[in-house]
Structure 1
């Protein structure tokens, strides 16, 4: 990777006020999440022939049971078109089924089929082993503090995302 120098016409930012991505927490969280998703994605692709959106759908259905696509998207923070494509692919493969929502006919419920539930059962130990390997070498107290901080940042992020969505600064 090459780092370009600023053009002669541009101002050099003040080091005290410059945004340094490598130290900017939202960017760093995104990078860490991207590494985790890519590593897990390779595992699930090689073992089950599914991508990241599909395994997220399977994981949510395995944990919570029958859900709407809207609920899956809300929990996983995936866009509705991505959820829809993932559900469609999983349904084509016989891993999920859809049933009518009698209270709201615009949406349907999605549930794991027998083969989908078996994949979920295979995914769980792989995911937990990956998590253990990812956090290997961290003390139990460090993990507890990290979990607490991560929960706080998640809640603040949820609040800020809603505030910015509503037009607040």
Structure 2
């Protein structure tokens, strides 16, 4: 029995809980940029950022990459279309699929948000020394790989 297994579980020390709390705190901090200043939801921000990064993309692929379900993608893209930030078109290669792309207004909004988001990221990461940052990135990658393994195992 390992030390971890021999002690009673304390929620505040439970890795999934700690990661969720951290992700929530970071997301709330970033939401101050995209929600309060630009009236975007978290899902819209993810879609905006991914479209800016990838260019036109199938809505199914968008959901996978943004870790959003079909309904979340649909709602986000619908609101973004309403606001003139994105547009959907039928995929020429497969008429059953929709391709989503940013409009010029969407690209301009992304350009405004990115420096503010990066400044917040820098502020958070400046708490770590370069070696700590490298170790943190490596640890996140390893834990993420293990989490995917567990998900595949069911």
What TM-score comes out, normalization by structure 2 length?
Answer: 0.91
Please give the residue correspondences for 1:66-105 in structure 2 after superposition, counting only pairs within 5 Å.
Answer: 66-105=56-95
After superposition, residues 111-130 of structure 1 pair within 5 angstroms as 111-130=101-120
**In proportion to residue count, which structure has more helix?**
2
Mapping 1:7-156, distance limit 5 Å: 16-156=6-146
Q: Deviations over 1:1-43 (max 9, x none)?
A: xxxxxxxxxxxxxx94432111111111111111111121122
| Max Rg structure | 1
Contact persistence 2:33–2:117 (CA under 8 A) = no
Which deviates further from its counterpart, 148-157 or 138-147?
Answer: 148-157
* Structure-1 separation of matches of 2:96 and 2:51: 20
Gaps of 5+ in 2: none
Give the structure, 1 or 2, with the largest relative contact order (CA under 8 Å, sep 6 or more). 2
Paired residue total: 150
Mark the runs of 5 or more structure 1 residues left unpaired by the alignment.
1-14, 165-169
Q: Cα offset for 1:155?
A: 1.5
